[in-house]
Amino acid sequence: MSSRRAAAVPCFVALLATACGGDGDGGSEETLADADEVDCQLEPVEADGELTVYSGRNEELVGPLLEQYASQTGVDIAIDYGGDSATMARQISEEGDASPADVFFSQAPGPLAFLGEQGRLDTLPDSVLDKVPEQYRAADGTWVGASGRVRVLVHDPERTPADTLPASVFDLIKPEYRGKLGIAPSNASFQDFVSYLRIAIGEDETMAFLEGLVDNDVRTYPNNVAIVEAVDSGEIDMGLANHYYVLELLAQDESLTTRNHYFPAEDPGAIILVAGASVLDTADDPELASQFVEFLVSECAQRYFVDVTKEFSVIPGVQPPGDERPLEAVGGEVADLAELGAGFENTADLIAESGLEG
Amino acid sequence: MVATAALFAIPFGYLGVRAIGNGGAGWEATVDDASIEPLWRSIQLVVLTTVVATTVGVGMAWLTARTNLPGRRLLGVLAVLPLVIPSYVAAYAYVSAFARGGLLDEALGVSWLPAVRGLPGAVFVLTAVSYPYVYLPVAARLRTLPPSLEESARMLGRSSWQTFRSVVLPQCAAPIAAGSLLVALYTLSDFGAVQYVRYDTLTRRIFAARLDPVTSVAVSLLLGVLALAIAGGEHLARRRFRPVSGVGMKASITHRLGSLRWPAFGATAGVIGLALITPVGVVTWWVIRGQRSGVRRSRAVDLPQETWSTAWIGVVSAVATVAVVLPVAWLVMRRQHRVAAAAGTLVMATFGLPGVVIALSLVGITVGTSWYKGFTVLVLAYVLHFGGQALGAAQSAIGSVSVRYDEAARLLGANRWRRLWRIDLRLMAPGLAAAGGLVLLSVMKELPATLMLRPIEFNTLATRINATVEDALFIDAGGLSLVLVALSGVLTWALVLRRH
């Protein structure tokens, strides 16, 4: 499961999501049970009106948490799940001053930054901003991260101990890793990684790296779960994925021997992709809207992301999912893909041009 | 009629106003290579898909309606059904089934299949889902066409093929033109298929630039102009052939295919196998595979509720759409009304716009009113989006009813409304039902406008397919897709096919 959190942008049309990010099987009944175990015990909130939340994050994913907020605080909350985050941001932009939206909950920073540039986001109060370390929120205080996903190299520590692994993601094109690596080129999370490379090292270098992967006999898989399973069965030694796939599969099957390896924090192989939330300038009751955003970065909601969606918490003190190290210890740079603007979408074509087929 | 025209002018007007507001930057974005190249690709895709889909559609219609093709009744019904498969589902299904290691490789060991990619891939997918736009009106025409001309041709010693070419094709010119126009505009507006097969057309560019409003408005306007050109061009061409009057009777002529009977069956079954069975098979396979591995299930899906919502919004929108475009169709066909013809061109061109462009224009003008994110605006979006489908079919319906009945009734003293009610609407009923049926199917699978304009917490099967696939809940996505296809099939049968 997971294009849902994997996706910064790509897929707003149903099955396309599978193309760009969908993964085959995954998740478990247990995971679902966890959803009900997180009980935030919120105090009732006095509010006159309704709170309208535009969510670019999937109902399957964040629905239970938002419903819990509504039922425990008594706030009348309307949640609009409108497809992909970038399209929602554009809709809010077109709505202008008359927008019914109070809060925008985005899968990635790009759509938030777009609205920020248009002056559509309120500055959040310090009580919210102070909860989240600087690197996981907007410099101007217009949005805060709500959860994080990290790019990793999955491997079997018995078969390929950490000291035999490449020091940098760029080493994967070296001869010693020929035919040993698996990737999912059509997956949104891989595309986010490549988009980040385009910003960090430029188009030409990115292309050279992708072609290097092709020349090094990289194996391609339809999704990240297939990569983890291929590593587990010994078909390949390592694969590039987001961190939560191993955690999801471990939750289903304890005998899984595959684990996450984090590249050094300064390496582009270890970027962090965050989801974030903001209060819109059209919020009827900015205080209520801020309270809701504050709830998303509260310890309880953060525990929900860790336990249920197996993402990293963005606030200090909340244990990471599984046996992972905390985000600040594993994570590299927070990827702000907004810089690519509309060119962002061309990443899939760049990947195809390099000869990678998935 | 004027009201109809005003409604359909909304998206174009909105784009125009936005483009003017963008000024020089908008112009630069319009003439940029990044806009012109997708324009060229869209034109290629539209031309090729229209030619291939029209050929397939006419061939299927003639074989199932007029020949002794084995199993022609069943094939005739099945041939309509690819229309119910959303292009995004079909595209995904083909790409994954044809890929190395995909379903066909795994199940049948065929690993030599070409990847469904680029221009050929897009033409293939879009032909599969859109040839019924030609098939339906042509088959309907063939069923009501007087057999006398064909009988004469046969008696004069013409072969089946010669008769088809010299008699059937000319009589079907109007429905063929109407159907291929729908294919062309559908292809132009499609995003689901081109996104998945990675063919960079205008719609894909609009989507890619959604956080760059200047560019996306510019590209949308280019697309709008192309849609107007296609619809206008067809309008000019259409004036050359006068509609042939039918008599509304069942035509029973059957051409003997002889030794070609089974090859023809093979071709027809092959089209249905590719366009219908393959995508449905892939989706079924998801469900079965998902059941075996016991993966997580969706918690949000409420199947009976979503099935009901999909059905009623589809039926209401279909009726509304036919009602809105009928006056235009009537004035065009019966009065050769110039202004109505221009309005009709506008209605057709709007069908060429992608759903997201229509939805954004309605966001722009209804936000802040109490209608925004209400059912009225949602239904209006569907009316605008799919009015062209209904218009073409309604014009065919009106054209197939002879004015002689009307004249005879007038001589007998029946007033205008009585004639309309007792004669014209009765005789047009199957054609109008077909018009509504096309809209119904499109509404049920529509996604981008639905996501943007639906009332909060209103879910259709399509929106749930979107959410569950995004979350990789494949059993649910597959199951919902099958329910959508089945529901569409049942409604098409109940409302359209049964009447033929």
Domain A3-148+273-325 has CATH 3.40.50.2000: no
Chosen for mutation from B15, B32, B470, B482 (greatest number of chain A CBs closer than 10 Å) is B470
Query: Which residue in the set A2, A28, A35 is minimally distant from B472, CB to CB?
Result: A2
B298 contacts in chain A (CB < 8 Å): 60
SS3 A146: strand
Look-up of token digits 């001309």? B149
Question: Measured between CA atoms, how close is A142 to chain B, in angstroms?
Answer: 18
User: What residues contact residue A273 under an 8 Å CB cut-off, 6+ apart?
Assistant: A6, A8, A108, A148, A149, A150, A151, A189, A192, A242, A334, A335
Question: Measured between CA atoms, how close is A167 to chain B, in angstroms?
Answer: 32
User: In this predicted structure, what is the pLDDT of residue B162?
Assistant: 82
pLDDT at B300 over 60: yes
Q: Does A326 touch chain B (CB under 8 A)?
A: no
User: What residues contact residue B320 under an 8 Å CB cut-off, 6+ apart?
Assistant: B379, B382, B383
The Cα-based distances of B472 to A5, A193, B215, B248, B456 in angstroms read 11, 20, 32, 50, 23
Superfamily of domain A150-271+340-353: Periplasmic binding protein-like II (3.40.190.10)
Tell how strand A181-183 and strand A219-220 pair up: parallel
Of the candidates A253, A254, A274, the residue with the CA atom closest to the CA atom of residue A335:
A274
Tell me which DSSP letter residue A273 carries: E
User: In this predicted structure, what is the pLDDT of residue B242?
Assistant: 53
| Closest residue in A to B475 (Cα–Cα) | A25
Query: Which residue in the set A13, A18, A32 is minimally distant from B447, CB to CB?
Result: A13
More confident residue, B241 or B126: B126
Q: Which amino acid is at B76?
A: G
The region that residue B472 occupies, defined by phi over 0 for left and psi between -120 and 50 for alpha, beta otherwise, is: left
The residues in A 53-72 lying below 8 A from B, measured between CB atoms, are 58-61, 63-64
Q: What percent of chain B has pLDDT over 70?
A: 90
User: In this predicted structure, what is the pLDDT of residue A277?
Assistant: 97
User: What residues contact residue B330 under an 8 Å CB cut-off, 6+ apart?
Assistant: B398
- What is chain B's mean pLDDT, rounded? 86
Question: Measured between CA atoms, how close is A211 to chain B, in angstroms?
Answer: 19
Q: Which residues pair with B149 in a beta bridge?
A: none
Query: Do residues B209 and B334 touch, judged by C-beta distance below 8 A?
Result: no
Question: Measured between CA atoms, how close is B54 to chain A, in angstroms?
Answer: 27
Per-residue pLDDT, averaged over B469-490, amounts to 79
Torsion sign (Cα): A176, A177, A178, A180: positive
Of the candidates B251, B253, B249, B252, the residue with the CA atom closest to the CA atom of residue B401:
B249
Q: Does the beta-carbon distance from A80 to B373 stay under 8 Å?
A: yes
Distance CA A249, CA B175 (A): 55
Distance CA B193, CA B329 (A): 31
Distance CA A289, CA A287 (A): 5
Distance CA B281, CA B293 (A): 18
Burial class of residue B60 (count of CB atoms within 10 Å of its CB; 0-12, 13-18, 19+):
buried
The residues in A 168-187 lying below 8 A from B, measured between CB atoms, are none
Distance CA B339, CA A242 (A): 58
Distance CA A295, CA A45 (A): 12
User: What residues contact residue B257 under an 8 Å CB cut-off, 6+ apart?
Assistant: B67, B68, B69, B160, B264
User: In this predicted structure, what is the pLDDT of residue B54?
Assistant: 97
**pLDDT by 10-residue block (mean), chain A, 358 residues:** 32 30 35 56 82 92 90 92 89 95 92 91 96 91 93 94 94 95 84 88 93 91 80 92 87 86 91 93 95 95 91 89 79 70 65 74
* Domains in chain B, CATH or no CATH each: 2-499 (1.10.3720.10)
User: What's the token pair of residue B420?
Assistant: 């309309």
Q: Cβ atoms within 10 A of the Cβ of A158, count?
A: 8
A26 contacts in chain B (CB < 8 Å): 295-296, 472
A348 contacts in chain B (CB < 8 Å): 198
- Residues B216-219: contacts with CB under 8 Å, at least 24 apart: B216/A90, B216/A342, B217/B15, B217/B18, B217/B19, B217/B22, B217/B26, B218/B19, B218/B22, B218/B26, B218/B27, B218/B29, B218/B30, B218/B32, B218/B35, B219/B29, B219/B30, B219/B35, B219/B38
More confident residue, B449 or B147: B449
Burial class of residue A35 (count of CB atoms within 10 Å of its CB; 0-12, 13-18, 19+):
middle
pLDDT at B118 over 90: no
Q: Does the beta-carbon distance from A345 to B192 stay under 8 Å?
A: no
A52 contacts in chain B (CB < 8 Å): 456
Chosen for mutation from A9, A23, A60, A247 (greatest number of chain B CBs closer than 10 Å) is A60
Task: Say what the alpha-carbon torsion angle A214, A220, A222, A223 is, to the nearest 10 degrees.
Answer: -100
Distance CA A184, CA A166 (A): 19
Q: Which of A279-288, B8-17, B195-204 is the least confident region?
A: B195-204
- 3-class secondary structure for B196-238? HHCCCCHHHHHHHCCCCHHHHHHHHHHHHHHHHHHHHHHHHHH
A23 contacts in chain B (CB < 8 Å): 472
Distance CA B325, CA B428 (A): 14
Query: Which residue in the set B209, B295, B469 is minimally distant from A342, CB to CB?
Result: B209
Question: Measured between CA atoms, how close is B196 to chain A, in angstroms?
Answer: 6
Q: Does the beta-carbon distance from A13 to B191 stay under 8 Å?
A: yes
Residue ranges, CATH 3.40.190.10, chain A: 3-148+273-325, 150-271+340-353
Instruction: Please give the sequence-ordered ranges of beta strands (E in DSSP) within A88-143, or none if there are none.
Output: 103-106
Question: Measured between CA atoms, how close is A86 to chain B, in angstroms?
Answer: 7
Torsion sign (Cα): A155, A159, A162, A164: negative
| Closest residue in B to A83 (Cα–Cα) | B451
Burial class of residue B239 (count of CB atoms within 10 Å of its CB; 0-12, 13-18, 19+):
exposed
Q: Does the beta-carbon distance from B471 to A111 stay under 8 Å?
A: no
Q: pLDDT tens digits for B65-112?
A: 888 889 888 998 889 889 888 888 888 888 877 766 667 766 777 767
| Closest residue in B to A10 (Cα–Cα) | B208
Q: Does A99 touch chain B (CB under 8 A)?
A: yes
Q: Which amino acid is at B83?
A: L
Query: Which residue in the set B86, B210, B372 is minimally distant from A14, CB to CB?
Result: B86
Q: Does the beta-carbon distance from B451 to A82 stay under 8 Å?
A: yes
ipTM of model: 0.89
Q: Does the beta-carbon distance from B89 to A114 stay under 8 Å?
A: no
Q: Does A112 touch chain B (CB under 8 A)?
A: no
User: In this predicted structure, what is the pLDDT of residue A25?
Assistant: 35
Q: Does A345 touch chain B (CB under 8 A)?
A: yes
Q: Does the beta-carbon distance from A27 to B296 stay under 8 Å?
A: yes
Q: Which of B215-224, B334-343, B417-426, B436-445 is the least confident region?
A: B417-426
Q: Does the beta-carbon distance from B192 to A341 stay under 8 Å?
A: no
Of the candidates B466, B220, B95, B448, the residue with the CA atom closest to the CA atom of residue A352:
B95
